[in-house]
Amino acid sequence: MKRMCVVGLGYIGLPTAAMFAKAGWDVTGVDINTNAVEKLNRGEIHIEEVGLGELVKEVVAKSNLKAMLSPDFADCFVIAVPTPHNDDLTANLDYVIAATKSILPYLQKGNTIIVESTIPPRTIDDVVAPILIENNWIVGDDVYLSHCPERVLPGRILIELVENTRIVGGINKTSAEKAAEIYRAFVKGDILITSAISAEMSKLMENTYRDVNIALANELAKISEKLEINTLEVIELANRHPRVNLHLPGPGVGGHCLAVDPYFIIEKAPDESVLISNSRKINNSMPTFVVNQVKKLFNNRSKIAVLGLTYKGNIDDVRESPAMDVLEILKEEGYRLGIYDPHVKQEQVYFHLSTFDEAINDADCILVLTDHNEFKIMDEEKIINCMNNPVIFDTRNCVSITKSEIKYYNYGNLYEMNVPSYTHA
């Protein structure tokens, strides 16, 4: 049985480790989080992802997956640690560097090393490879080094790990081919072989493309607010063009990918990445825009029931979530807050979490910041009975309201301006 060591048991590392274990590999997962290690060895998970709990329980029971606090000998090492940004928005590669150094005592000739962490261009060539070279390894000959970026959607990770096309970028062609053969253990999608630097850049551009397009939608929302236009109607009409696909506006952009990856490009080419940089500024401005709309409706003696802290619906991930920024601004403005998210545990956040009933009780406004399924249809009678002249401001355009006693705002009707719809013969 082939052995694998996965360093980093987060939202990517743990599903990846579990998938290889299901495919028959003997997998050791490594993390500095003692709780994550202990839970995994009990067949439990410390993150939320559809189907992952059942899969981990299965492969741990078969002894195909175990967790440790430090690496072990293996045929393949996968590095899947976080790459946050520093205060100056440059990439913090400390975890990648530490993970690479941690496997050095366990490396053997013929091993394959795969970095799945999202990294700036040239990180494999200029950061990871030199660490191996300094320890007397001939990279691409003694050991094989590649970058294979993840490209999965939370909530569908186990499906997309199998079905999505994978890009494998090697320090040389042999390294890429070795890594590609490893992924063929369970990947049914195409596996594209390229250079490490092309793989690094393609991953960043995938998320930057989405960030830029979301910025366009958010800028449209700002323009429409000023010109008293129904943003959502405009998007729906424009998207009837066969080559147009405008995104929907929201409270900002979050997650460890879209809100972070563009900075890795900006860092390497600041003068050339004007559009990317401006898109980041637009999306970062949206929490303030949301609060400004609240301020037009309510003074800071009001209570705001904030629903949703994660950056997208039906997950538990609050990393870089714009909802957290909205909360900070509301708190600074002096608003009373009731905060509810059915997917988030108290230990994940520093704001006090309430139940739904506690959050809306005596509230003046429900502010929806995440499109969880639980928020799409709410108990309208309870809202009417518990709130003061109930108002909902839905920044995710997801809530269905039927009762006229509840005033409902989203990006389409924030100011209740009736915009005529025109049809042309």
* Catalytic (active-site) positions: 203, 257
Q: First CA to last CA across the chain, in angstroms?
A: 69
* Sequence-ordered list of residues with C-beta below 8 angstroms from that of 88, at least 6 positions apart, any chain: none
Which residue, among 166, 160, 152, 90, has the nearest Cα to 123 in the 3D structure? 90
Which residue, among 172, 144, 152, 82, has the nearest Cα to 118 in the 3D structure? 82
What is the maximum alpha-carbon separation in the chain? 74
**How many other CB atoms are there within 10 angstroms of residue 19's CB atom?**
22
Asked if 411 and 249 touch (Cβ cutoff 8 Å), the reply is yes
CB neighbour class for 1 (10 Å; exposed up to 12, middle 13-18, buried from 19): exposed
DSSP state string for 63-78: TSEEEESS----SEEE
**34-41 and 52-61 helices, crossing angle to 10°:** 70
Q: Cα separation of 12 and 39, whole Å?
A: 17
CB neighbour class for 420 (10 Å; exposed up to 12, middle 13-18, buried from 19): exposed
Coil, strand, or helix at residue 203? Answer: helix
